[in-house]
A and B are shown apart, each in its own frame.
Chain A
Amino acid sequence: MKIPTLLSLFAACFVAGSANIEENVGQFFSSGHTNNWAVLVCTSRFWFNYRHVANTLSVYRSVKRLGIPDSHIVLMLADDMACNHRNPKPATVFSHKNMELNVYGDDVEVDYRGYEVTVENFLRVLTGRLPPSTPRSKRLLSDDRSNILIYLTGHGGNGFLKFQDSEEISNVELADAFEQMWQKRRYNELLFIIDTCQGASMYERFYSPNLMALASSQVGEDSLSHQPDLAIGVHLMDRYTFYLLEFLEDIHPASKANMNDLFKVCPKSQCVSTPGHRTDLFLRDPGSVLITDFFGSVRKVEITTETISLTDPIKQVEEIAVHGEQEKETYSYVDQLPVSEIIHQKPKQKDWHPPDGFILGLWTLILLVFFKSYGAKHLKHIF
């Protein structure tokens, strides 16, 4: 009596186990993306905005650690803090006082730097309307199966974000840019994080599908910075990104944490401002979206089950080598410097130019004064 029940229990376990495996397979493909991109932008310059560069670099570090390669990250930093002459510790950007974590690292690849970070370039990267001479590392080559993470930080206000202290991007332009990306199917899902004052105003105008947005503060609130470092002399990070970095440090590529955990980062007690999020345009339930869907790059993998049997012998490629040798040309450098002239120092013959404007003006002035003072009728006395 007991044995059949035990057997049936075992059978049920097996069935459940195999169903679980099938579910895993299904979940593998449920997110619908095959590659990940990240666009990380810091929009403010000057030394006292150190914290914005540190914000962006800490997100960059997390994203790289979780697997997104540099070829899929577009990093835009408006100013150089690591090599700023006011930095007492050159080649470092710290995110925590007591200099615990250097987010600048050894292998930072900045794609847009300094004055290249403009509203125009940012919108060009998003919509893909770059001049043909732009190198591959400066392009966002996403397709309809890419999940993109966009992180903006800097100074902002109600409905705009300030770039480089001289121009602004408005929330309408940003929403239109995302709509153009959707029209051209340049993303599968997009996560938009913004850490500025009144950040929630920037995602108010979104209207394209599959967008999820997080902001560090609501309209009317300011985002505050975390703590200053007395040795460096500036505030090192903003509160929201500081706690975000703390949260992300616990995530590893195989982690199953989901977006609901991300929404809980930095409650009002820690952040002083109220972080907000917007998920109404997103088709999936945020509880089923993994953090690594956007911050990491977990590849979908399929086992190759079929092979093709090839039996032809390999053709030797020697004939091409023979021809190549016959056609080899000898190359030589063109003279880089006019060595003969430098050595012999022959003076160059200068061509005669008519007198310059200044000389002409000077002579006209002198003649005028001369004739004014002496009168024209005295001319015959002179000549």
Chain B
Amino acid sequence: IIIGVPLWWRTTETYRAWLPVSQIQELANLELQLSADVEVVFARGTVTPEQQKKIPLTLSQDDEHVVDEDTSLRYRYETRYRTATIMEEDALNQPTAAEADLSLHMLSESPCGSLVVYVVPESTSLLPEDVEVYIGQRRTALLRIGTQMRVGRTLDQLLDHLEPRIKKLLQLMSFSHTDITAALSDRVRLSPGNKESIADSMRAFKSSPGYEITFSLLNPDPKSHRLHWDIEGAVQTFIQPLLTKLEPLANFSIDSQILYYAMLGVNPRFDNSHNAYTLNADSLAHVINPVEARLGSNAASSNPVLNFLLYVPDANHSPLYIQDRKKQQVPSNAFHSPRWGGIMVYNVNSFYGPDVAFPVDININMAKVMGVFLAQLRLLLGVQSSTPPPGFLVAPCGSSGLADWELDRLMWSRSVENIATATTTITSLAQLLDQIGNIVINDNIAQQVSSAVTSLQLAVAELESGNLGFALQYSKEAILASERAFFDPSLLHLLYFPDDQKFAIYIPLFLPMCVPILLSLLKIASEVRQRRRDKQTKTD
């Protein structure tokens, strides 16, 4: 027994490397703090001299929200108030808001994750009449001070007056509670709010280390149309700047293809009132499937694929317009499907007259096409285009297709999403390995888990201190390591032994051995009893 039992124990043991279980359990209780730096700059004419003496000033504000019993969020805004410098005043004297924005950007570049709000006087000519706030392409905003502010008010009242608008601005440009809780959807299954929020959360792809983008040109009628599209140039000019800007988030790979004789799955109906063929909104859902079967994918990785299709209708069914539910023509003539991609219908019948020799050479206007695809790409990648509140004017995004503050917003929600997903993965992995004692835990899995835990702790710390870039990077590392650990092929548990099977294995081995042992034990016991009885009779 002394030799046998330990020997049996060692040989039936499974190798399980050590996991930092206590740290994992700490991570299960997630308390995130998101910090944003805000700088509020008062231009000349907005503050009185005596108020000016009390500025510069730094305030910080905390907002606590408890999402559920394991998760709580705290938003911290560090606000610094100061007056404008001479150069900033010059910049604010520009004729239009867009030019002011540009020259302000030339002066100083705000770091990732921070905001600068310039408070301009009531009488300024930068903002149109009914606009209170102008949000620029970088990380600056112009806020018009209200009419109530006149000489005689104290600084505190001024700050109180500005606070609600600054808060609304922050929610639009940095992070809002709804965005962050939507990003936490992996951890927390909230009951869905309104239909818009469901649609928003379903539309964008989940955070992934890479995406594949495929542009396809569908030509169902090569006999009539010979299409030329300069896809390489168009991608280089229009799409690549956006993807370069999004590089901290994910890797992108782009390819393109041309498909001939590819029809849509539905027959468009001729509409006499518009003198054109129309596709109504209900039939759009059935367009994608027959085409998708022919698209193919050359993706060698498991990254999600975004498909953008450009469909040029055949000569017999031109022009083809898409109608929305109210039977109105859609100006962009395009539609997109959540988490799949987008389709645009490009009519070419206006480029040639009725008596022309087929096939006709047609050059596709890539700027128009890419404008639509870029908008769809933004939506699918999670850049929310929610309508701004009344009184706010948002500058159109620049040539790169993405404003800096939109990038910041995306980075915040992606970091939170990555952290949430990585924590759920790690905690469920630890729970799984704890419950099923038979799974072998190799060293590489333990190493991945440890590195995931350290990356997660670093990411949470960086979010707290407001370094958005580092937080995103650590969260990406954390999610990669946790996914690699969770999906390791060696973690497959096929050793389900119900108790009766365990008995069935051991009984035939041990029972025959046990019988003589038991009998001899009984014999020893009876002998001892006999001897004791003899001793008793002897002493009597």
Chain A residues engaging chain B, CB cutoff 8 angstroms = 21, 24-26, 29, 32, 34-35, 67-71, 119-120, 123-124, 127-131, 136, 139, 141, 143-145, 170, 172-173, 176, 180, 183-185, 253-254, 297-317
Contacts and interface: CB of A to CB of B under 8 A. Distances in A.
B337 A299 contact: yes
Contact of A124 (B234, B237, B300, B489): B489
Contacts of B293: 69-70
Given A183-B432, A298-B286, A304-B334, A32 B202 contact: yes
A69 B293 CA distance: 5
B494 interface: yes
A216 B337 CA distance: 36
A301 B285 contact: yes
Contact of B337 (A34, A69, A315): A34
B335 A304 contact: yes
B449 to A, nearest CB: 15
A296 to B, nearest CB: 8
B447 to A, nearest CB: 17
B503 interface: no
B250 to A, nearest CB: 15
Given A143-B206, A301-B337, A315 B324 contact: no
Contacts of A70: 293
B494 A123 contact: yes
B492 A123 contact: yes
Contact of B332 (A25, A185, A305): A305
Interface stretch (B6-14, B371-379, B473-481): B371-379
Given A183-B424, A184-B486, A315 B236 contact: yes
B330 A34 contact: no
Q: How many B residues are at the interface, by size bracket? A: 35 or more
Contacts of A143: 206, 304, 339
B337 A71 contact: no
Contacts of B366: 314
A314 B240 CA distance: 12
B100 interface: no
A19 to B, nearest CB: 13
B139 interface: no
Given A145-B339, A183-B432, A310-B374, 13 more contacts: A29-B198, A34-B337, A69-B293, A71-B292, A129-B487, A130-B489, A253-B289, A299-B337, A301-B288, A301-B337, A302-B203, A310-B370, A314-B233
A144 B198 contact: no
Interface string B305-343: 000000000000000001011000011101111111010
Contact of A29 (B195, B230, B233, B378): B195
Contact of B302 (A26, A139, A299): A139
28 contacts: A34-B202, A34-B339, A67-B289, A69-B292, A127-B492, A129-B492, A130-B487, A136-B297, A136-B299, A141-B302, A173-B493, A176-B436, A253-B286, A253-B289, A299-B288, A299-B340, A300-B338, A301-B288, A301-B336, A303-B330, A303-B335, A304-B332, A305-B332, A307-B331, A307-B375, A308-B371, A310-B370, A314-B233
